[in-house]
A and B are shown apart, each in its own frame.
Chain A
Amino acid sequence: MSIRIEQVTKLYQGIPVVNDVTVEIQTGEFFVLLGPSGSGKSTLLRALAGLTHIDHGRMSLHGRDVTETPARQRGVGLVFQNYALFRHMTVADNIEFALRVRWVRAAARRRRRQELLQLVALEGYDERYPSQLSGGQQQRVAVARALAHEPAVLLLDEPFGALDAKIRVELRETVRAVQQRIGMTTILVTHDQEEAFALADRLGVMQMGRLLETGSPEELYRHPTTRFVARFLGAANLFLGEVSGQGLRLGTATLTPDPSAPQAAVGTEAVLVVRPEDIEIALQTGAPQSPPFAGGKVRALTFAGHQQYVTVELDELSGVETATGDGRGAGEAVSVDALRSAAEQSAAPLSLGMPVNLGVRRLHALPTPISSFRLLTGDAAHSAALEANPLLTQLLRSMQARVIRQPPIGARVERLDAGICVLPLAADTPDAIGAAVAQGARRLLCIPPLTSLPARMLIYAGEAMRSSALLALVSSAMRHLPVPTTAVTIQRPEASRSEVVEAQRKLLDTRADLRSAHGLDLRGERFVGDLRSWLAHVAAQPEPLLIVLELPATPETLAQSLAGDLAPLFAPGSRAAVLFAIEAAP
């Protein structure tokens, strides 16, 4: 294991800009950290280089723990976006800098410099000053300089950001070639998806300080886990579908998913990802060769050289629902983005307004438990108030999810088992929860009136902590909220030593499960007392918190638990938001 990053957290004014990131990078691997600006990717890289102090976690390079090691002793090579060459030194002096400070003899220095200049194809530029070189050449000098002292890892911080498109591609190839020739473990940080695909052996996507997903570019492109990754790595159509016995139901059609996709229980709602190039457009006179799913009209055509972008507005009869909430008003038609090759264009020429049939070549179902949000409130005013709550606003924004306003419970019998039900936290909430669970709700979010995001997310690691439903819900919440997350175990004051050890072991198991199933990490905390006293303690905290709990499914035990241990949550003055997962029926 070349690089090990464990639970690394960096706080900026109390907000985690890098949030419990755990990742391992193999020797010789080219790992790309991809993310939008402000996602924490550069901070993580600089922390690894030793330039930024971290608030929590450990880092090791080749088995050597470097968490406390100053940057100059870490043995990393770092390349900056703006080159950061020493302008008053020649290329030769720049490259030899790391050797000079290590008192390497002149002859050895010269040899190494020649080697490196050859590696980056800049032989003969020794005596030039940086100002006499082009941007691309300067960055190659910077790469050579970073490799001079034979570092353990090479770290590249947006190295091509300041370059022209053409030179960028050229230099990208140089860097890849150099990396492969010397087999150097490398991390590159970028916000450019194309660059990431071109370079990465393995890719990690970061957002809001979390490492959302890691995998090979192809894996992540074909089988993303989150909506964010699905849309960040190229365009994607996101639909709401349902898992049925025969496959996935999308509108009125039933389609076969990718065989490698994880299986979900029949009847659950799913978010379906269809890449534009996987949509087949057939003229109305013919049927598509791939499984058909809807008909529609051509809304827009955009010429892009060898390809053509087509936007098709679906017929309402198709029954297809979009999974995203980007500004689409109710009653507006769902549209689909498709991408056609030149061959397809000539086979079936399109014009605006033309009716077409659509087929799906390939589709992928996101394994997310939160496919949509259902607001369970009395009226529209309450719904609007709930939607304006910072917690829900943040979740909707980062999940790019859709809100469905549900009529009050009891008014009409609806299935509530899809997605997550949201309700305001008040004294009568326990009854509302009972009613919603009776109608099949599997996940519930109860929100008190908040003025800011919860400061922390606390997961009650009780007996059922390792249930996969709870873990999935936890991972989904962790990926979409920029708050520190802690699993809390509760211990009786008179707990015996073996009980303490057992609780500790459970926590470690939970962490391992979360890591292997979702690639996320969290921290543990212990509370001495019982569940009721813990909830009373957290509900009374001055700063709002988000608590994640599992609830029993049977009506009697549910009511008993809501009125008993969980009562402090619904007491007046409680400021904690609560996320409930309902235990799977035995």
Chain B
Amino acid sequence: MKLFGAARLFSRPRRQQILPGFGLTMGYTVTYLSLIVLIPLAAVVLSAYGLPLTQWLEVLAAPRVLASFRLSVSASLIAAVVNAVFGLLIAWVLTRYEFPGRRLLDALVDLPFALPTAVAGIALTTLYAPNGWLGRILVPLGIHVAFTPLGVIVALSFISLPFVVRTLQPVIADLDQDLERAADTLGAGPLLVFRRVIFPALLPALITGSALAFSRALGEYGSVIFIAGNIPQVSEIVPLVIMTKLEQFQYREAAVVAVAMLLLSFAMMFVVNAGQLALQRRHLGKR
């Protein structure tokens, strides 16, 4: 009954819907979201709740935790930026050009989604380890990928690429090619057309895609732990710190780090959405 009451509050249909049952579906939506998303999140916060603030700071200020945050955030950011550049390129090529093997290439983009992350991690480690195919070439050149922060970046770039590509593809497909033609007849060269016409039109989607990639990279665990080597304060990421703490039965401390991470993610989402909204208000008006 309570749910239906709430439904009445939200619904106020201006006209008759073809499919009835707003109350019922809304009820299920709220219940499902609560069970799957809200309650677990609340549990994390609750389990860290008992701790006084000084202890919170103590846990977070520990050099090992701080270093892991620094690495997680910076590596995710770098991965997001790298993917923004190459993801845009890949999305453009896959959408704009017709070539043999295009569909195969397109399917390849989803591989990081489909592959179990552990498999990806093992594959990357085998490749970049000093005796691996790529490692054998790179290590003599002084480039160490496996068991360094660089390895973390490589793994994070790998798993977060599809987010940028898949967000951009429909936007590029919808992009009116007459815009480019108009800019062309107005005298703009290819670079200018890209910078002044295409890029601004793709920017909102690029930001969304990169933000998604960043969020995904921040929480990634499986693929990183193999290639990172997990050397404390050097190549240890936040999820691993939480894991370690859990294994040592420091549940509260683990929860504190987890909450900090949660807040970071929320802040990120908030900033991106606010930025999106502002961009849309300014450039596109309300549509």
Which residue from B187, B192, B283 sits with its C-beta under 8 Å from A129?
A: B283
Contacting pair B285 A72 (CB below 8 A): no
Q: A84–B187 Cα gap in the complex (Å)?
A: 15
Contacts of A131 in B (CB 8 A): 284-287
* A74-B185, A97-B186, A101-B192 known; A84+B176 contact, CB < 8 A: yes
Contacting pair A78 B187 (CB below 8 A): no
Contacts of B196 in A (CB 8 A): 86, 97, 101
Which residue from B187, B201, B287 sits with its C-beta under 8 Å from A72?
A: B187
Contacts of A87 in B (CB 8 A): 201, 283-284
Contacting pair A51 B184 (CB below 8 A): yes
Tell whether A80 is near chain B: CB-to-CB under 8 Å.
yes
Tell whether B200 is near chain A: CB-to-CB under 8 Å.
yes
Q: A64–B182 Cα gap in the complex (Å)?
A: 22
* A129-B285, A132-B285 known; A84+B179 contact, CB < 8 A: yes
Tell whether B197 is near chain A: CB-to-CB under 8 Å.
yes
* A129-B283, A131-B285 known; A78+B176 contact, CB < 8 A: no
Contacts of A113 in B (CB 8 A): none
Which residue of the partner chain B has the closest CB to A74?
B185
Contacts of A149 in B (CB 8 A): 186-187
Q: A311–B181 Cα gap in the complex (Å)?
A: 48
Q: Closest Cβ of chain B: how far from A41's Cβ, in Å?
A: 16
Contacting pair B187 A88 (CB below 8 A): no
Q: Closest Cβ of chain A: how far from B161's Cβ, in Å?
A: 26
Q: Closest Cβ of chain B: how far from A46's Cβ, in Å?
A: 8
Q: A208–B196 Cα gap in the complex (Å)?
A: 38
Tell whether A163 is near chain B: CB-to-CB under 8 Å.
no
Tell whether A248 is near chain B: CB-to-CB under 8 Å.
no
Contacting pair A145 B201 (CB below 8 A): no
Contacts of A148 in B (CB 8 A): 186
Which residue of the partner chain B has the closest CB to A151?
B185
Q: Closest Cβ of chain A: how far from B149's Cβ, in Å?
A: 37
Which residue of the partner chain A has the closest CB to B199?
A88
The proximity string for A residues 111-133 relative to B, scoring 1 for CB distances below 8 Å and 0 otherwise, is 00000000000000000010110
Contacting pair B201 A51 (CB below 8 A): no
- How many residues of B sit at the interface, in one of the four size bands? 20 to 34
Tell whether A102 is near chain B: CB-to-CB under 8 Å.
yes
Q: Closest Cβ of chain B: how far from A93's Cβ, in Å?
A: 9
Contacts of A73 in B (CB 8 A): 187
Which residue from A86, A101, A132 sits with its C-beta under 8 Å from B187?
A: A101
Within A211-255, the residues touching B (CB, 8 Å) are none
Within B255-287, the residues touching A (CB, 8 Å) are 282-287
Contacting pair B179 A97 (CB below 8 A): no
Q: A160–B282 Cα gap in the complex (Å)?
A: 28
Contacts of B178 in A (CB 8 A): 80, 82, 84
Contacting pair B284 A72 (CB below 8 A): no
Contacting pair B185 A76 (CB below 8 A): yes
Known: A74-B185, A88-B284, A148-B186. 12 other contacts (CB 8 A): A49-B185, A51-B181, A71-B184, A77-B186, A84-B176, A86-B182, A86-B200, A87-B284, A89-B200, A98-B187, A129-B283, A142-B182
Tell whether B183 is near chain A: CB-to-CB under 8 Å.
yes
Which residue of the partner chain B has the closest CB to A148?
B186
Contacting pair A86 B179 (CB below 8 A): yes
Q: A102–B287 Cα gap in the complex (Å)?
A: 33
Q: A51–B185 Cα gap in the complex (Å)?
A: 8
Q: A43–B173 Cα gap in the complex (Å)?
A: 22
The proximity string for B residues 201-242 relative to A, scoring 1 for CB distances below 8 Å and 0 otherwise, is 100000000000000000000000000000000000000000
Contacting pair B283 A88 (CB below 8 A): yes
Contacts of B179 in A (CB 8 A): 84, 86
Which residue from B186, B200, B285 sits with its C-beta under 8 Å from A101?
A: B186
Contacts of A146 in B (CB 8 A): 185-186
Contacting pair A145 B186 (CB below 8 A): yes
Tell whether A430 is near chain B: CB-to-CB under 8 Å.
no
Q: A145–B178 Cα gap in the complex (Å)?
A: 14
Tell whether B189 is near chain A: CB-to-CB under 8 Å.
yes
Contacts of B182 in A (CB 8 A): 78, 80, 84, 86, 142, 145
Which residue of the partner chain B has the closest CB to A130?
B285
22 contacts between A and B (CB under 8 A): A49-B181, A51-B184, A51-B185, A70-B184, A72-B184, A74-B185, A76-B185, A84-B176, A86-B179, A86-B182, A86-B197, A86-B200, A87-B201, A88-B200, A88-B283, A89-B200, A97-B188, A101-B186, A101-B189, A129-B283, A129-B285, A145-B182
The proximity string for B residues 81-110 relative to A, scoring 1 for CB distances below 8 Å and 0 otherwise, is 000000000000000000000000000000
Contacts of B286 in A (CB 8 A): 131
Q: A50–B179 Cα gap in the complex (Å)?
A: 15
Contacts of B192 in A (CB 8 A): 101
Contacting pair A84 B283 (CB below 8 A): no
* A88-B201, A131-B287 known; A72+B186 contact, CB < 8 A: yes
Q: A87–B178 Cα gap in the complex (Å)?
A: 13
Contacting pair B176 A71 (CB below 8 A): no
Q: A78–B178 Cα gap in the complex (Å)?
A: 10
Q: A71–B178 Cα gap in the complex (Å)?
A: 13
Contacts of A76 in B (CB 8 A): 185
Q: A80–B176 Cα gap in the complex (Å)?
A: 11
Within B152-199, the residues touching A (CB, 8 Å) are 176, 178-179, 181-189, 192, 196-197
Q: Which of B182, B201, B282 has the most C-beta atoms of chain A within 10 angstroms of its own C-beta?
A: B182
Q: Which of A51, A72, A98, A132 has the most C-beta atoms of chain B within 10 angstroms of its own C-beta?
A: A72
Q: Closest Cβ of chain A: how far from B285's Cβ, in Å?
A: 3
Contacts of A74 in B (CB 8 A): 185
Q: Closest Cβ of chain A: how far from B188's Cβ, in Å?
A: 5
Contacts of B188 in A (CB 8 A): 72, 97, 101
Which residue of the partner chain B has the closest CB to A79?
B182
Q: Closest Cβ of chain B: how far from A94's Cβ, in Å?
A: 9
Q: A49–B180 Cα gap in the complex (Å)?
A: 13
Which residue of the partner chain B has the closest CB to A70?
B184
Which residue of the partner chain A has the closest CB to B177?
A84
Contacts of B181 in A (CB 8 A): 46, 49, 51, 71, 78, 80, 84
Q: A110–B262 Cα gap in the complex (Å)?
A: 50
Q: A72–B189 Cα gap in the complex (Å)?
A: 7
Which residue of the partner chain A has the closest CB to B179?
A84
Q: A142–B185 Cα gap in the complex (Å)?
A: 12
Contacts of B282 in A (CB 8 A): 129
Contacting pair A50 B186 (CB below 8 A): no
Contacting pair A72 B200 (CB below 8 A): no
Q: A72–B192 Cα gap in the complex (Å)?
A: 11
